[in-house]
Amino acid sequence: MNQHTFDLSGKDNKTGAGSLLVKGEVDTRHGPILYLEDVSVSFDGFKALNQLSLYIEAGELRCLIGPNGAGKTTLMDVITGKTRPDTGSVFFGQTIDLLQMDEPAIAQAGICRKFQKPSVFDALTVFENMELALKADKRTWPTLFHRLTGEQTDRIHEITGTIGLSSSHQLRAGILSHGQKQWLEIGMLLMQEPKVMLVDEPIAGMTHQEVERTAELLLSLQGQRSIVVVEHDMEFVRSIARKVTVLHEGSVLTEGTMDEVQNDPRVIQVYLGG
């Protein structure tokens, strides 16, 4: 039996009566926080994902690389509920079946996604953007009469410090640099207290200094939550990744350290131009 084969029924007797696990909590006691097994997705006969299996550990920072059409975007779409696979299993921890949940429920459970283009509210200040992203009751009535607690205000200031925007919290987001907008959106994700963050090409369009700061930011977040980064810039990947997964034609081609991946003849052939 493969070391990454799990009981997908959720009937492990250790999660039954007397367990300390709260219902709905992510159970990573017997394996990764996120795993996909034998996932396939077809679009008009084209297999975007082909029996793909992927396992992400709790607190891990993983980089996904691969040529255009390798399946990276489809993979993230499946994890977040945007695309339903034709076959396979997708679990969040040991017991939460993501294929039984819609996009809002998956986000509420703790899986958040950052797209390549930052989506912040330009007319609002950095602080106001962060306030809107609070993990709270978003129904109209509570929102209209919501007042920040001291704890929430402290949390906003803490995260603006983490993303390097403490001195900019009263500036309108629209006047921030491209890199600062990217960091603001990462901060907005952090306000939602995610357990898994999916980050798509975070350094596209950044200056060299912004790239370095983004690497520092992502490295500072690992361990606290799992982070999956899709990126094409190999120098940036090398600067942040302990483990790299290479996708090709909808499947995992290989995994390992950046050195191992770059020296793999299959990777050289299909991705690195050898």
Confidence of residue 273 (pLDDT cuts 50, 70, 90): low
pTM of the predicted model, to two decimals? Answer: 0.85
Confidence of residue 94 (pLDDT cuts 50, 70, 90): confident
pLDDT in tens, 104-146: 999 999 999 998 777 899 999 999 999 999 865 444 444 445 6
For the chain, the DSSP string reads: --TT---TTS--GGGSTT-SPPTTS---TTS-SEEEEEEEEEETTEEEEEEEEEEE-TT-EEEEE--TTSSHHHHHHHHHTSS--SEEEEEETTTEEGGGS-HHHHHHHTEEEE-SS----TTSBHHHHHHHT-SS--SHHHHHT----HHHHHHHHHHHHHTT-GGGTTSBGGGS-HHHHHHHHHHHHHHT--SEEEEE-TTTT--HHHHHHHHHHHHHHBTTBEEEEE---HHHHHHH-SEEEEEETTEEEEEE-HHHHHT-HHHHHHTS--
| pLDDT surpasses 50 at 19 | no
For the chain, which domains are there? 1-110+194-274 (3.40.50.300), 119-193 (no CATH)
